[in-house]
């Protein structure tokens, strides 16, 4: 079930919210948590009822590890932690990476020695596995106490606003909110505002970009003109941003409706002046997870420059691999890691001293757009063909006019301006988007217009994918 589906908007969300409001009158957080837990399990089982048992098994497993690590008298705590991490990674690896390794193993031995798995990838397994691991690790570090109530831990991991596509919420950030939170009318209004802005990003921008991207990328790279390849990859760059940041806005908004405060997951990454800054602004919950649980434990930047570069290499290798079992995702991660390293080697200082900051933005955009080629295109060879078409001029059978119309022009202009440019030029506009206290009459009118246009669009068009649902 998508947040932008009519079923969610007009059936699931209203019923859940009404039941939650009614429950608050009886048992406040306790009754509300029961409603949220049941709603979350129904939400997950809606699309994949079989995998609800996998989710429950993951929670039960990590509940046991949390209890063991929380005991003062337990021996060999580090071994218990290692076992917990291995089992979590093993669970994720079996469903997400088994066929990847089996394919290359069979190719290396020139035979079908390992049969391919027929299991579909469970929704959200990458996200909820990382959340579960962060809980176990934080209990081991004694940063949080072990949760002795199984249903509280189940609610934390299965909470439907962030269950299948993030943001990755660490237990220590919402531990107190699960047990005691104070919902308010102002928070719910803010939640609705954030949800509707996110819905608009997804339906009115990302979906439109996606239709044209899918259409053009249905052709071979050598059939496309250089100009069309650049335009369509810029459109994909905007599509994935509005898709994922829109989902994150909706998740944050839904959380606020039920009294939770989730941390921001995006901070206008496309206005960055370096790749280092880009990763401080893009998918913040994932980058901070890798920093806190991989980069720093490996030594971070405390053990010399060479070790720092090795640690960065490992982090971005894992970042790419986390997104998918494919060489293209691994290359995408290492591609960004390469630029992170060269910026640390000295290029970053050149960027800082450069008086023409527009060149820094241009450099970052080119790197990011080229990286998205491998994120989107299936296969390294095909990806390299698109890179070649971008930098070596070709006329092609299809040019810019293939998908140039009024709709494309409008969404391109809006997409570029709203990805951080207008918010930077007009700080008050940016502040109004995140203001938790005030909802002006003009802003209310805009929100109703967004909802109306989204409903019209969803009613007329069945194209409504979420890119990050497959991760």
Per-residue pLDDT tens over the stretch 200-246: 999 999 999 999 999 999 899 999 999 999 999 999 999 999 999 99
- In whole angstroms, what is the distance from residue 184 CA to residue 190 CA? 10
Q: How many domains does the chain have?
A: 2
Tens-place pLDDT, residues 358-374: 999 999 999 999 999 99
Q: Which of 158, 181, 204 is the last residue of a domain?
A: 181
**How many percent of the chain have pLDDT more than 90?**
63
Q: Which of 166, 181, 196 is the last residue of a domain?
A: 181
33 in the same domain as 19: yes
**All residues at 6 or more sequence positions from 309 whose CB lies less than 8 Å from its CB, including other chains:** 341, 344
User: What pLDDT score does 409 carry?
Assistant: 93
| 294, part of any domain | yes
The mean pLDDT of 64-81, rounded to a whole number, is 89
| 131, part of any domain | yes
251: part of which helix (H) or strand (E)?
helix 226-257
| 79, part of any domain | yes
423 in the same domain as 358: yes
Identify the domain containing residue 90 by its residue range.
Answer: 6-181
The mean pLDDT of 166-177, rounded to a whole number, is 88
Q: Report the range of poorest mean pLDDT among 75-89, 92-106, 207-221.
A: 92-106
**Average predicted confidence (pLDDT) for the chain:** 90
Grade residue 470 by pLDDT with cuts at 50, 70 and 90.
Answer: low
226 in the same domain as 80: no
To the nearest 5 percent, what fractions of the chain are helix, strand and coil? 75, 0, 25
Residue 469 scores a pLDDT above 70 = no
105 in the same domain as 10: yes
The mean pLDDT of 318-335, rounded to a whole number, is 92
User: What pLDDT score does 366 carry?
Assistant: 96
DSSP 462: -
Give catalytic residues, as residue numbers: 323
| 114, part of any domain | yes
121 in the same domain as 74: yes
**How many percent of the chain have pLDDT more than 70?**
98
128 in the same domain as 255: no
365 in the same domain as 313: yes
Q: Report the range of poorest mean pLDDT among 177-191, 307-321, 328-342.
A: 177-191
| 468, part of any domain | no
Grade residue 166 by pLDDT with cuts at 50, 70 and 90.
Answer: confident
User: What pLDDT score does 124 carry?
Assistant: 85
| 471, part of any domain | no
126 in the same domain as 27: yes
Is the CB of residue 19 less than 8 Å from the CB of residue 35? Answer: yes
User: What pLDDT score does 402 carry?
Assistant: 83
The mean pLDDT of 249-265, rounded to a whole number, is 93
360 in the same domain as 397: yes
User: What pLDDT score does 464 carry?
Assistant: 66
123 in the same domain as 258: no
Task: Name the residue among 213, 258, 365 with its Cα closest to residue 32.
Answer: 258
Residue 69 zone, left/alpha/beta (φ > 0; ψ -120 to 50; rest):
alpha
Grade residue 87 by pLDDT with cuts at 50, 70 and 90.
Answer: very high
| 469, part of any domain | no
The mean pLDDT of 166-187, rounded to a whole number, is 87
Q: How far apart are the first and last CA of the chain?
A: 15
226 in the same domain as 163: no
| 470, part of any domain | no
227 in the same domain as 169: no
Task: Kindly provide the b/e burial profile for residues 236-257, where b requires at least 16 CB atoms within 10 angstroms of the residue's own CB.
Answer: bbbbbbbbbbbbbbbbbbbbbb
Q: Which of 181, 208, 241 is the last residue of a domain?
A: 181
């Amino acid at each position: 079930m998508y947040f932008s589906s009519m079923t969610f908007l007009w059936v699931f969300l209203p019923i859940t919210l009404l039941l939650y409001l009614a429950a608050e009158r009886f048992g406040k957080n306790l009754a509300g948590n029961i409603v949220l837990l049941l709603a979350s399990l129904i939400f997950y089982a809606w699309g994949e009822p079989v995998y609800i048992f996998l989710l429950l098994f993951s929670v039960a497993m990590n509940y046991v590890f949390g209890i063991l690590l929380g005991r003062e008298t337990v021996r060999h705590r580090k071994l218990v932690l290692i076992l917990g991490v291995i089992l979590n990674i093993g669970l994720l690896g079996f469903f997400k990476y088994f066929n990847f390794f089996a394919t290359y193993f069979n190719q290396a031995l020139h035979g079908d020695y390992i049969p391919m798995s027929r299991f579909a990838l469970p929704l959200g397994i990458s996200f909820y596995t990382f959340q579960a691991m962060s809980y176990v690790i934080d209990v081991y570090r004694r940063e949080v106490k072990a949760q002795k109530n199984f249903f509280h831990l189940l609610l934390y991991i299965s909470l439907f606003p962030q269950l299948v596509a993030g943001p990755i919420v660490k237990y220590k950030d919402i531990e107190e909110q699960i047990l005691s939170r104070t919902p308010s009318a102002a928070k719910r209004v803010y939640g609705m505002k954030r949800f509707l802005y996110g819905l608009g990003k997804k339906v009115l921008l990302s979906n439109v970009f996606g239709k044209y991207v899918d259409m053009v990328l249905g052709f071979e790279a050598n059939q496309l003109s250089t100009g069309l390849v650049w335009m369509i990859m810029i459109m994909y760059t905007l599509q994935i941003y509005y898709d994922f940041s829109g989902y994150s806005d909706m998740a944050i908004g839904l959380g606020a409706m039920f009294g939770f405060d989730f941390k921001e997951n995006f901070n206008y990454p496309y206005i960055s002046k370096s790749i280092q800054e880009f990763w401080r602004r893009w998918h913040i919950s994932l980058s901070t997870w890798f920093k806190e649980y991989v980069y720093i434990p490996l030594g971070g930047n405390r053990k010399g420059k060479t070790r720092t570069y090795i640690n960065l290499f490992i982090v971005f290798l894992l970042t790419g691999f986390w997104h998918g079992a494919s060489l293209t995702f691994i290359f995408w991660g290492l591609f960004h890691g390469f630029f992170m390293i060269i910026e640390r080697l000295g290029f970053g200082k050149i960027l800082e001293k450069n008086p023409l900051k527009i060149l820094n933005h241009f450099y970052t955009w080119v790197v990011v757009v080229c990286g998205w080629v491998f994120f989107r295109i299936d296969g390294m060879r095909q990806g390299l063909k698109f890179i070649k078409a971008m930098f070596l001029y070709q006329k092609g059978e299809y040019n810019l006019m293939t998908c140039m119309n009024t709709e494309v022009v409008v969404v391109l202009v809006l997409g570029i301006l709203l990805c951080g440019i207008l918010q930077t030029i007009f700080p008050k506009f940016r502040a109004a988007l995140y203001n938790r206290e005030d909802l002006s009459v003009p802003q209310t009118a805009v929100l109703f217009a967004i909802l109306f246009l989204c409903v019209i669009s969803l009613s007329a068009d069945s194209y409504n994918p979420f890119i990050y649902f497959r991760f």
